[in-house]
Amino acid sequence: MATRQNPGGTRLRSVAALVAVLAATACTAQPDPAPRPGLPPTLGPSQNTPNRAAGDGSIPENGSISLNDTGHAAIANLDPALLTAVRTAATNAAARGVELRVTSGWRSTQYQQRLLDEAIARYRSVEEARKLVHPPEKSKHVTGQAIDIGPTAAADWLIQHGADYGLCQTYANEMWHFELLTTPGGQCPQPLSDANG
Protein backbone atom coordinates (compact mmCIF):
# COMPACT_ATOMS: atom_id res chain seq x y z
CA MET A 1 0.00 0.00 0.00
CA ALA A 2 1.41 3.33 -1.03
CA THR A 3 1.74 6.12 1.50
CA ARG A 4 0.15 9.28 0.34
CA GLN A 5 1.84 12.56 1.26
CA ASN A 6 -0.23 15.53 2.27
CA PRO A 7 1.59 18.55 0.84
CA GLY A 8 -0.16 20.84 3.32
CA GLY A 9 0.65 18.60 6.30
CA THR A 10 4.08 20.11 6.85
CA ARG A 11 2.62 23.58 6.69
CA LEU A 12 -0.12 22.65 9.20
CA ARG A 13 2.46 21.20 11.61
CA SER A 14 4.52 24.41 11.30
CA VAL A 15 1.49 26.58 11.98
CA ALA A 16 0.51 24.39 14.95
CA ALA A 17 4.05 24.67 16.36
CA LEU A 18 4.00 28.45 15.94
CA VAL A 19 0.63 28.69 17.69
CA ALA A 20 1.97 26.58 20.58
CA VAL A 21 5.04 28.84 20.93
CA LEU A 22 2.90 31.99 20.87
CA ALA A 23 0.50 30.53 23.45
CA ALA A 24 3.39 29.62 25.75
CA THR A 25 4.88 33.11 25.35
CA ALA A 26 1.54 34.75 26.12
CA CYS A 27 1.29 32.77 29.35
CA THR A 28 4.71 33.90 30.55
CA ALA A 29 4.66 37.48 29.27
CA GLN A 30 4.18 40.18 31.85
CA PRO A 31 1.12 42.36 31.37
CA ASP A 32 1.63 46.05 30.90
CA PRO A 33 2.08 47.44 34.39
CA ALA A 34 -0.58 49.72 35.72
CA PRO A 35 0.57 53.30 36.19
CA ARG A 36 2.20 54.01 39.50
CA PRO A 37 -0.17 55.94 41.78
CA GLY A 38 0.75 59.56 41.67
CA LEU A 39 2.04 59.51 38.13
CA PRO A 40 -0.19 60.15 35.18
CA PRO A 41 -0.98 56.90 33.34
CA THR A 42 1.24 57.96 30.46
CA LEU A 43 4.26 58.32 32.72
CA GLY A 44 4.10 55.05 34.60
CA PRO A 45 7.26 52.97 34.24
CA SER A 46 7.39 50.91 31.08
CA GLN A 47 7.55 47.13 31.12
CA ASN A 48 11.15 47.31 29.93
CA THR A 49 12.30 49.66 32.68
CA PRO A 50 13.59 47.82 35.75
CA ASN A 51 12.86 49.20 39.17
CA ARG A 52 15.49 51.79 39.88
CA ALA A 53 17.56 51.89 43.03
CA ALA A 54 15.94 53.80 45.87
CA GLY A 55 19.07 55.98 46.08
CA ASP A 56 17.83 58.10 43.18
CA GLY A 57 14.50 58.71 44.90
CA SER A 58 12.51 56.34 42.73
CA ILE A 59 9.75 54.28 44.26
CA PRO A 60 9.02 50.78 42.91
CA GLU A 61 6.55 50.82 40.07
CA ASN A 62 2.90 50.73 41.14
CA GLY A 63 4.07 51.46 44.65
CA SER A 64 4.07 54.03 47.35
CA ILE A 65 5.93 54.47 50.60
CA SER A 66 5.15 55.73 54.06
CA LEU A 67 6.02 59.24 55.13
CA ASN A 68 7.96 57.55 57.92
CA ASP A 69 10.25 55.63 55.56
CA THR A 70 13.20 57.88 56.38
CA GLY A 71 15.68 55.35 55.00
CA HIS A 72 14.35 55.97 51.50
CA ALA A 73 16.00 58.84 49.60
CA ALA A 74 12.59 60.07 48.36
CA ILE A 75 11.74 60.90 52.00
CA ALA A 76 15.19 61.49 53.52
CA ASN A 77 16.05 64.25 51.03
CA LEU A 78 12.79 66.19 51.27
CA ASP A 79 12.87 69.74 52.54
CA PRO A 80 12.32 69.42 56.33
CA ALA A 81 9.54 72.03 56.37
CA LEU A 82 7.67 70.20 53.60
CA LEU A 83 8.07 66.84 55.30
CA THR A 84 6.84 68.22 58.64
CA ALA A 85 3.79 69.79 56.99
CA VAL A 86 2.87 66.61 55.12
CA ARG A 87 3.36 64.43 58.20
CA THR A 88 1.11 66.71 60.24
CA ALA A 89 -1.51 66.59 57.49
CA ALA A 90 -1.17 62.80 57.31
CA THR A 91 -1.81 62.46 61.05
CA ASN A 92 -5.00 64.50 60.77
CA ALA A 93 -6.07 62.68 57.60
CA ALA A 94 -5.55 59.30 59.30
CA ALA A 95 -7.86 60.41 62.12
CA ARG A 96 -10.51 60.78 59.41
CA GLY A 97 -9.75 57.40 57.85
CA VAL A 98 -7.58 58.67 54.98
CA GLU A 99 -4.02 57.39 54.53
CA LEU A 100 -1.56 59.65 52.73
CA ARG A 101 1.11 57.69 50.84
CA VAL A 102 4.11 59.06 48.96
CA THR A 103 4.26 58.11 45.29
CA SER A 104 7.17 60.44 44.57
CA GLY A 105 9.25 62.78 46.69
CA TRP A 106 12.83 63.90 46.25
CA ARG A 107 14.37 62.82 42.92
CA SER A 108 17.97 62.84 41.81
CA THR A 109 18.91 64.97 38.81
CA GLN A 110 19.52 61.81 36.80
CA TYR A 111 16.15 60.29 37.70
CA GLN A 112 14.34 63.53 36.83
CA GLN A 113 16.12 63.62 33.47
CA ARG A 114 15.10 60.01 32.77
CA LEU A 115 11.47 60.88 33.52
CA LEU A 116 11.67 63.80 31.09
CA ASP A 117 13.35 61.68 28.42
CA GLU A 118 10.66 59.00 28.81
CA ALA A 119 7.91 61.61 28.52
CA ILE A 120 9.47 63.11 25.39
CA ALA A 121 9.73 59.64 23.82
CA ARG A 122 6.13 58.84 24.75
CA TYR A 123 4.61 62.14 23.54
CA ARG A 124 7.13 62.73 20.72
CA SER A 125 7.08 66.37 21.71
CA VAL A 126 9.16 68.33 24.20
CA GLU A 127 6.29 70.78 24.65
CA GLU A 128 3.78 68.04 25.55
CA ALA A 129 6.25 66.28 27.83
CA ARG A 130 7.00 69.52 29.67
CA LYS A 131 3.32 69.83 30.63
CA LEU A 132 3.97 66.94 33.04
CA VAL A 133 7.71 66.83 33.69
CA HIS A 134 10.15 69.66 34.36
CA PRO A 135 13.80 69.40 33.39
CA PRO A 136 16.01 68.78 36.43
CA GLU A 137 17.05 72.42 36.79
CA LYS A 138 13.40 73.50 37.20
CA SER A 139 12.01 70.56 39.15
CA LYS A 140 10.94 71.11 42.75
CA HIS A 141 11.29 67.35 43.23
CA VAL A 142 15.04 67.66 42.64
CA THR A 143 15.31 70.34 45.34
CA GLY A 144 13.12 68.31 47.70
CA GLN A 145 10.38 70.94 47.69
CA ALA A 146 7.63 68.87 46.06
CA ILE A 147 5.85 65.66 46.94
CA ASP A 148 3.32 63.49 45.11
CA ILE A 149 0.58 61.96 47.24
CA GLY A 150 -1.64 58.97 46.54
CA PRO A 151 -4.01 57.26 46.33
CA THR A 152 -6.63 59.47 44.71
CA ALA A 153 -8.72 59.78 47.90
CA ALA A 154 -5.64 60.99 49.79
CA ALA A 155 -4.73 63.55 47.12
CA ASP A 156 -8.33 64.76 47.10
CA TRP A 157 -8.30 65.13 50.89
CA LEU A 158 -5.08 67.13 50.69
CA ILE A 159 -6.49 69.39 47.97
CA GLN A 160 -9.39 70.19 50.30
CA HIS A 161 -7.39 70.55 53.53
CA GLY A 162 -3.78 71.17 52.47
CA ALA A 163 -3.88 74.94 52.95
CA ASP A 164 -4.34 74.30 56.69
CA TYR A 165 -0.75 73.02 56.59
CA GLY A 166 0.60 75.35 53.90
CA LEU A 167 0.34 72.61 51.26
CA CYS A 168 -1.12 73.43 47.87
CA GLN A 169 -1.87 71.57 44.67
CA THR A 170 0.56 73.17 42.24
CA TYR A 171 -0.78 72.08 38.84
CA ALA A 172 -4.39 71.63 37.76
CA ASN A 173 -3.46 68.57 35.68
CA GLU A 174 -1.62 66.89 38.59
CA MET A 175 -3.93 66.41 41.56
CA TRP A 176 -1.16 64.50 43.37
CA HIS A 177 1.61 67.17 43.29
CA PHE A 178 1.94 69.40 46.36
CA GLU A 179 4.31 72.13 47.44
CA LEU A 180 4.47 74.54 50.38
CA LEU A 181 2.97 77.61 48.71
CA THR A 182 1.28 79.39 51.60
CA THR A 183 1.54 79.72 55.34
CA PRO A 184 -0.48 77.24 57.42
CA GLY A 185 -4.10 78.41 57.36
CA GLY A 186 -3.41 80.72 54.41
CA GLN A 187 -4.93 80.63 50.99
CA CYS A 188 -3.41 78.58 48.20
CA PRO A 189 -2.77 80.24 44.86
CA GLN A 190 -4.81 79.03 41.92
CA PRO A 191 -3.06 75.93 40.48
CA LEU A 192 -1.18 76.51 37.24
CA SER A 193 -2.74 74.74 34.26
CA ASP A 194 0.29 72.43 33.96
CA ALA A 195 4.04 72.32 34.59
CA ASN A 196 4.57 74.55 31.57
CA GLY A 197 1.85 76.99 32.65
The structure's pTM equals: 0.74
* Regions of the chain short of the pLDDT cut 70: 1-54
* pLDDT of 197: 73
- Answer yes or no: are the C-beta atoms of 126 and 120 closer than 8 Å: yes
Sequence-distant (≥ 6) Cβ neighbours of residue 5 within 8 angstroms? none
**What is the Cα Rg of the chain in Å?**
23
Strand partners, 167: 180
DSSP letter at 95 equals H
**CA–CA gap between residue 164 and residue 30 (Å, rounded):** 43
Domain 52-109+142-180: top CATH class? alpha beta
**CA–CA gap between residue 133 and residue 118 (Å, rounded):** 10
